[in-house]
């Protein structure tokens, strides 16, 4: 009898250990910027769909997904102008079709065309899950309820420390611009934590193309965690920066780019205003997934993609001029190039990549170096082993016992 009881207890414990109902996946993507290349290709029929279709293997349906929209969303975009961005609502619809539903709009480009431009964006995004603006001078909090567990609430808020057109602030647009962290802002974060079991704070900060955060960023990130943030999600540098665990909470200093037209040329003069030794690594797309289990951070996963901007295509006629693709899958294709060119079973993306390798063999080394760059800097502060599984590089975090009296998720 005792043996049967012990066996029953063991079976129950095993079932609990294998139960994934308490697991939540949060996936963080970088900057979406409609440079001329992206906008021209994307606004063709099925253009954005083609660009984003290689995301399907990520199975984003099983994750809550977040990205930074670094453009205004208006029905009649302005003519393309360097460093000024606007796009049609179709851009957001394409992201939603890939299960990317949560957006932040607090960044340095939100006043590119004036205060009215930002207000129009708020109107055009009103039925979306987004934030990055203020209400009566205070940060707006978007509370998201998890479909599988309606009682679970995730709060999303965010602000930018950078703004390209601060002169438009005189018109008092509700943009969440706070160049310096202050006591009132930290107090607001603390109040938000009371309204959501789990709080994500997005910050647009740092230096472009710098793979390491500055001292002020690291200080601010810790202050935000101390104030109540469970994740600090950073962006703006356009390249990846390290993750860090502080008091059991996750800091993502920069998630790099998601899809942009940056570095669409293979050559940039060293005297160009945009030149930086890390500039071409902005074509790397780090997709970062945080897995939480039983209220604790369990895994951090890096999935590396690359933005292929094919200069051989006519962007006004061919939507295939740009798309994203997993780095490891591309390198495998390149390794088996000789046999691949003879296959009839290649999909549309693979055919384009085979053509690209034939015309620009140097692209293989560029992609390889970009993958190495992302792994080097993302795991820069990491002291735990990194496990590779297919296109994923995984760090398992030791699960610590939580305070049962503490409201968490």
CATH assignment at residue 286: 3.60.21.10
Do 159 and 139 form a contact (C-beta atoms < 8 A)? yes
Mean pLDDT value across the chain: 88
**Domain assignment present for 376:** yes
State the pLDDT at residue 140. 97
Is the predicted pLDDT of residue 305 greater than 70, yes or no?
yes
Is the predicted pLDDT of residue 270 greater than 80, yes or no?
no
**Domain assignment present for 124:** yes
**Domain assignment present for 307:** yes
State the pLDDT at residue 316. 60
**3-state SS string for 56-104:** HHHCHHHCEEEEEECCEECCCCCCCECCECEECCHHHHHHHHCCCCEEE
State the pLDDT at residue 43. 81
CA distances from 135 to 74, 194, 229, 325 (A): 21, 18, 20, 39
138-142, 187-191, 252-256, 345-349: segment of lowest average pLDDT: 345-349
Whole-number Å distance between alpha carbons of 95 and 90: 9
Overall residue count recorded for the chain in this entry:
409
**Domain assignment present for 403:** no
Between vectors from CA 114 to CA 110 and to CA 115, what angle results, nearest 5°? Answer: 80
Q: Average pLDDT, stretch 17-41?
A: 82
Is the predicted pLDDT of residue 206 greater than 90, yes or no?
yes
Would you place residue 6 in the very low, low, confident or very high pLDDT band (cuts 50, 70, 90)? very low
Give the residue among 316, 387, 388, 407 at the shortest CA–CA distance from 43: 316
Would you place residue 120 in the very low, low, confident or very high pLDDT band (cuts 50, 70, 90)? very high
The residue with greater pLDDT, 317 or 254, is 254
**Domain assignment present for 261:** yes
Q: Please write the tens of the pLDDT for every residue from 309-319.
A: 865 566 666 66
Do 64 and 145 form a contact (C-beta atoms < 8 A)? no
17-31, 59-73, 197-211: segment of lowest average pLDDT: 17-31
41-45, 296-300, 302-306, 336-340: segment of lowest average pLDDT: 41-45
Q: 139 phi and psi, to 5 degrees?
A: -60, 135
Whole-number Å distance between alpha carbons of 140 and 218: 24
Q: Which domain holds residue 165?
A: 24-396
Q: Name, in order, each residue with C-beta under 8 angstroms of 257's C-beta and a sequence gap of 6 or more.
A: 30, 31, 33, 238, 239, 282, 283, 284, 285, 307
**Domain assignment present for 319:** yes
The residue with greater pLDDT, 4 or 359, is 359
State the pLDDT at residue 21. 52
State the pLDDT at residue 370. 96
Q: Please write the tens of the pLDDT for every residue from 99-115.
A: 999 999 999 999 999 99
**Domain assignment present for 404:** no
Q: Name, in order, each residue with C-beta under 8 angstroms of 7's C-beta and a sequence gap of 6 or more.
A: none
Greatest mean pLDDT among 72-81, 181-190, 255-264 lies in: 181-190
**Domain assignment present for 18:** no
Number of domains in the chain: 1
Q: Please write the tens of the pLDDT for every residue from 329-363.
A: 999 999 999 898 888 889 889 998 998 899 889 99
């Amino acid at each position: 009898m005792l043996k049967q009881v012990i066996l029953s207890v063991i079976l129950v414990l095993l079932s609990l250990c294998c139960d994934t109902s308490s697991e939540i996946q949060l996936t963080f993507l970088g900057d979406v910027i409609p440079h001329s290349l992206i906008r021209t290709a994307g606004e063709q029929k099925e253009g954005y769909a083609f660009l984003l279709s290689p995301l399907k293997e990520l199975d984003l349906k099983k994750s809550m997904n977040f990205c930074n929209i670094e453009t205004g969303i208006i029905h009649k975009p302005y003519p393309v102008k360097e460093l000024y961005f606007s796009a049609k609502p179709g851009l957001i619809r394409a992201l939603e079709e890939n299960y990317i539903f949560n957006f932040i709009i607090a960044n340095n480009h939100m006043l590119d065309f004036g205060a009215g431009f930002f207000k129009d964006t708020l109107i055009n995004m009103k039925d979306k899950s987004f934030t990055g603006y203020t209400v009566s001078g205070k940060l707006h909090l978007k509370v998201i309820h998890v479909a599988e567990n309606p009682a679970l609430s995730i709060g999303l808020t965010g602000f930018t420390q950078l703004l390209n057109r601060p002169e438009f602030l005189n018109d008092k647009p509700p943009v969440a611009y706070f160049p310096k962290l202050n006591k009132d802002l930290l107090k607001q974060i603390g109040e938000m934590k009371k309204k959501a079991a789990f709080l994500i704070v997005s910050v647009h900060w740092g230096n472009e193309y710098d793979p390491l955060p500055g001292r002020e960023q690291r200080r601010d990130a810790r202050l935000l965690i101390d104030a109540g943030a469970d994740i600090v999600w950073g962006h703006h540098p356009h390249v990846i920066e390290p993750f860090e665990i502080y008091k059991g909470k996750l800091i993502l200093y920069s998630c790099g780019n998601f899809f942009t037209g940056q570095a669409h040329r293979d050559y940039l003069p060293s005297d160009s205003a945009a030149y930086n030794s890390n500039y071409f690594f902005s074509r790397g797309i780090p997709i970062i997934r945080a897995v939480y289990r039983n209220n604790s951070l369990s895994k951090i996963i890096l999935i590396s993609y690359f933005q292929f901007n094919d200069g051989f295509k006519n962007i006004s006629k061919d939507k295939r001029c740009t798309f994203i693709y997993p780095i490891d899958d591309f390198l495998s294709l390149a390794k088996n190039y000789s046999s691949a060119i003879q296959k009839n079973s290649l999909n549309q993306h693979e055919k384009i990549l085979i053509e690209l390798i034939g015309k620009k063999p140097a692209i293989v080394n560029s992609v390889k170096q970009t993958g190495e760059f992302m792994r080097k800097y993302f795991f820069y502060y990491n002291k735990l082993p990194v496990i590779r599984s297919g296109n994923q590089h995984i760090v398992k975090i030791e699960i610590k016992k939580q305070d049962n009296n503490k409201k968490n998720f």
